[in-house]
Structure 1
């Protein structure tokens, strides 16, 4: 009887002191410049090369910072300065159908190279931004808040494809980018369709690339 009580007490102690949920590893920091942080249920931590990134992490870069994340499936996400994204989901079990990846971009300029999850099934990957959801077809692309491409002083978002194809799905309509260098823009201040697909000018492409250069 005494042993049973001791066991019960030990079990209760474990249940009340164990973490509510184990953190699921999503990837790691491959490269960083300046200051970037991760926020999750355990608090806020400053990132460094080799730092672990977890599912549900909010990743934030400070002024003039850059951050490159390599996820478990080989996909890569680069963030420019003053960016904020959430690693909403990453489930990667090779050689099974249990694969999914969801990334929410809150602000900032970013580029993304898809990995094994999207290559196995494009519908496994969900990429959300403030103006559109991106349907990805095994690709490399960039997006974010830009100053060129639309009327001066009009806050807007842009997307450009480097390789593969994406569908920019906005409340006002959608377009497909499937030729390297093609891009589109959307205003940030109202519901609208993406602008007609066209090749970005050197000035438009340079702004986005400079925002991501280490």
Structure 2
């Protein structure tokens, strides 16, 4: 039984492709929509009929079309804080972009993925004017009301990187809500789901196990890192449209710098130093300064995570950022951990508005990001790995986590220690997440699979109610000693929240009474 009234799908919709003619197309040739954040391999920008190499730091504009060759990628940062990663062998056109600081609700953004794939994280326009943001393919339109998603369009001739995958458009929602619409119908897509349509005349349909398509796409990505691309912008990157050979490779990677090239230090006035020190003394002084600087960096660089996060061992609202934070050793706003046997589970979050340094430049987090990760020596399963007797239930109890963190910043909603997850063959899975003065998030599932279980907000009249929610978890350890989880909730009244938490095995009980028959393992 639903505990709240769900809004109609039309509430979440932007206009479809067929309605683009009814929307103003904002093309301001002199106003950049953003800049190129990262280039790997051969990527070009098509503007006014000419192709120019896509180079790091280059401005891009509404009306630009981006092309990536095989084994090449391109990452864009919009002026509203949003990002878009364009996959290898892709073509994407930014059809319109307007960021209105005076009237944010009038801002608009739209584009078409002609072929290939992309991953997008919404910025201020998506938060302030979600109905004015659309992402389309030749088959379907995606209206946003969410945080991050991936799109893929495979043309009729197929895709070399995804052999055997059927032609058409695919949408994978990582967090938030999106609507996928075609001429034949529309579907609300929830976090963890993949929907597909082969042509505009076919309604979108769920693809069981469809996440594996995007995982396969991720595995085919080139392994270059943003730090490898350090070439300064050239004249072409500043808007020049000198014709270039569209088939010529673009390689902006350069050799990594020395210690002092990579480290911001107080400048040393060598002229004054030379006036009082001999050449050998100056050399010794510089060596000593470098040694002190190295010791200072080493002292401050203790890693916030002792193991590498991967898509297999981590649940998060934004894995790309988590990976970057791990590489740059950028610690979370807050974090905690619990030992499970000889392993460890770590959780935390970066708060919206927090200053972070990536790739040598300081930026402000446009939205909060949460994570929970298990060390590599712990086995991780989507399904419960053990058999359960028909006459017992198994309960996991909350031991720690981030609480629910508001996407746009603000007070965290604590999750209470009485929260629990119960498994039984009679009832399936029952989730009860108790919120401090905010009621409870309740979820049920027929099987013990922990992927994308819908949550409903109960007893929330005094605090305001979330419209919807989602729970995704993983069993930790060969004996399922714990469950790590990603919890999301959203609504117009309260906004978007996400959190992570750990539930430890607590007890086994007979279904006909509260008689524990097994204690917490030591």
Per the normalisation by structure 2, the TM-score is 0.34
Aligned to 1:121: 129
Give the superposition deviation at 1:53: 0.7
Give the superposition deviation at 1:209: 2.6
Give the superposition deviation at 1:153: 6.2
Candidates 196, 212, 216, aligned match of 1:207: 216
Aligned to 2:201: 191
Candidates 22, 30, 38, aligned match of 1:31: 38
Q: 1:113 to 1:65 in 2, by over 3 A?
A: same
* Aligned 1:13-162 pairs, distance under 5 A: 22-41=29-48, 43-96=50-103, 97-145=105-153, 152=164, 154-162=166-174
Q: 1:197 to 1:135 in 2, by over 3 A?
A: farther
Q: Provide the C-alpha distance between the structure 2 equivalents of 1:153 and 1:139, rounded to a whole number of angstroms.
A: 26
Matched, 1:168 2:199: no
Q: Which runs of 5+ in 1 are unaligned?
A: 1-20
Which structure would you say has the larger RCO, counting Cα contacts within 8 Å and 6 or more residues apart? 1
Comparing 41-50 with 57-66, which one deviates more in the overlay? 41-50
Q: Provide the C-alpha distance between the structure 1 equivalents of 2:75 and 2:220, rounded to a whole number of angstroms.
A: 13
Give the superposition deviation at 1:211: 4.8
Give the superposition deviation at 1:130: 1.4
Q: Which runs of 5+ in 2 are unaligned?
A: 1-27, 224-522
Q: Provide the C-alpha distance between the structure 2 equivalents of 1:31 and 1:56, rounded to a whole number of angstroms.
A: 20
Residues paired across the two proteins, number: 189
Matched, 1:182 2:157: no
Stretches of 4+ aligned residues off by more than 6 angstroms? none
Q: 1:45 to 1:66 in 2, by over 3 A?
A: same
- What SS does structure 2 have at the residue aligned with 1:23? coil
Comparing 41-50 with 79-88, which one deviates more in the overlay? 41-50
Give the superposition deviation at 1:197: 6.1
Q: 1:106 to 1:145 in 2, by over 3 A?
A: closer
Q: 1:94 to 1:141 in 2, by over 3 A?
A: same
Q: Please state which structure has a larger fraction of its residues in strand.
A: 1
Contact 1:185–1:195 (Cα < 8 Å) also in 2: yes
Per the normalisation by structure 1, the TM-score is 0.79
